Structure 1
Amino acid sequence: MHGGDGRVDRAAIIAEYDRVAADLRHLVASADGATLRRPSHGTRWTNEQLLFHMVFGYMVVRRLLVLVRLIGRLPDRIGSGFAALLDAGTPVFDAVNYLGAVGGARVFHGDALVRRSDRVIGALHRSLEREPEVNFGLRMRYPTRWDPFFSEYMDLEEIYRYPTRHYDFHRDQLTLDGR
């Protein structure tokens, strides 16, 4: 969402990141082992695995930013072909996405997950602050079958905002409160 002057509202994006970081710290600090092993709602993951997946959304964005900066400068037919290729690989992506969270939660859980999240969100914060305004005009096609928050075209601002939308969506699937 652009500010009144047409520029990207970086402060709003950073505030979203800060809100998520605080929320994750609270969730991890208030959940015991049994709660983390409980199945989440609407996924095949446990709460702990889903928490890792939610943080992984921020990790992925660091790579997506590179793609937008690169492919966003190329002819649209190249980006269209790339998105079509990725869409064709959706079954493989789905399997890797699921298993990645299962394995990732074994490595990054509890305080380690919070530290990883803080590092990744901090890196995104710094990247956003340094991003030249002209880059926010870059956009590329995305594999719309991979994620409900991917649209056919996404610009750099949408990519910076994506992980928080992803986090908030999955936040509602956690069963940490017993629901």
Structure 2
Amino acid sequence: MGEPSVDRQAIHEELERARRAFHQLLEDASEDDLRRPTDGTRWTNGQMLFHTLFGYILMRPLLILMRIFGRLPRGASRTFARVLDAGTRPFDVVNYLGPLGGAKVLGRRGMGAAFDRVIAYLHRRLDAEREADLSLGMHYPTRWDPFFQDVMTLADIYRYPTQHFEFHRRQLTLPAGPQAAR
């Protein structure tokens, strides 16, 4: 018997809920709200919003990596994941510094537009995926993000940025923070 089919509609709905929530957070936040510290991080709310946006932007390279490593023997992605895990400290520095400037460069309007573009891209890509490709899998650097599992499928990767967004949304100290679009 073959692999069970992936519920693409559920993934599309997750992406749209996240898009609506992201826009609601931006819309409800004052400039002072965006400059206020988050709960439990060194970022401001605006920087955290950029960080969650960046989780979606990273989908393009993650999808490319999956297309490559998902077709190779598992040992190739295991080695790649171990190399990336070994580079966790430099990754953490870049991961921290990126939102410091990214939120300023894009601003509220730019972050909203970028979020719309990346979600539209993910909808198109998901619709274009062959059913068999959604079960492609590879190893991931589990030290980079709590939502990276040792082995993830292409379908798992489509769900990753929304899991990341939901986690960090709870750290926002904005008027519509954790309760938005639930």
TM-score range, shorter chain: over 0.9
TM-score, length basis structure 2: 0.93
RMSD over aligned CA atoms reads 1.4
1:117 aligns to what? Answer: 115
**Among 135, 138, 146, the residue aligned to 2:136:** 138
Q: Are the structure 2 counterparts of residues 126 and 32 from structure 1 closer, same or farther at C-alpha, using a change threshold of 3 Å?
A: same
Q: Percent identity?
A: 51
Q: Distance in 1 between matches of 2:45 and 2:145?
A: 20
1:57 aligns to what? Answer: 55
2:155 aligns to what? Answer: 157
1:99 aligns to what? Answer: 97
**Among 3, 10, 13, the residue aligned to 2:11:** 13
Aligned residues of 2:24 and 2:176 also touching (Cα < 8 A): no
Deviation at 1:80, TM superposition (A): 1.0
Q: Distance in 1 between matches of 2:123 and 2:107?
A: 22
Q: Are the structure 2 counterparts of residues 178 and 34 from structure 1 closer, same or farther at C-alpha, using a change threshold of 3 Å?
A: farther
Q: Distance in 2 between matches of 1:104 and 1:48?
A: 9
2:180 aligns to what? Answer: none
TM-score, length basis structure 1: 0.95
Q: Distance in 2 between matches of 1:9 and 1:32?
A: 37
Deviation at 1:177, TM superposition (A): 2.7
> Is there any run of 5+ residues in structure 1 with no aligned partner, and where?
none
Q: Distance in 2 between matches of 1:153 and 1:76?
A: 9
Bigger shift: residues 151-160 or 169-178? 169-178
Q: Are the structure 2 counterparts of residues 110 and 30 from structure 1 closer, same or farther at C-alpha, using a change threshold of 3 Å?
A: same
2:64 aligns to what? Answer: 66
May I ask how many residue pairs the two structures share in their alignment? 175
Q: CA deviation digits over 1:122-148, x for unaligned, max 9? A: 000100000011101210000000000
Runs of 4+ in 1 over 6 A off after TM superposition: none
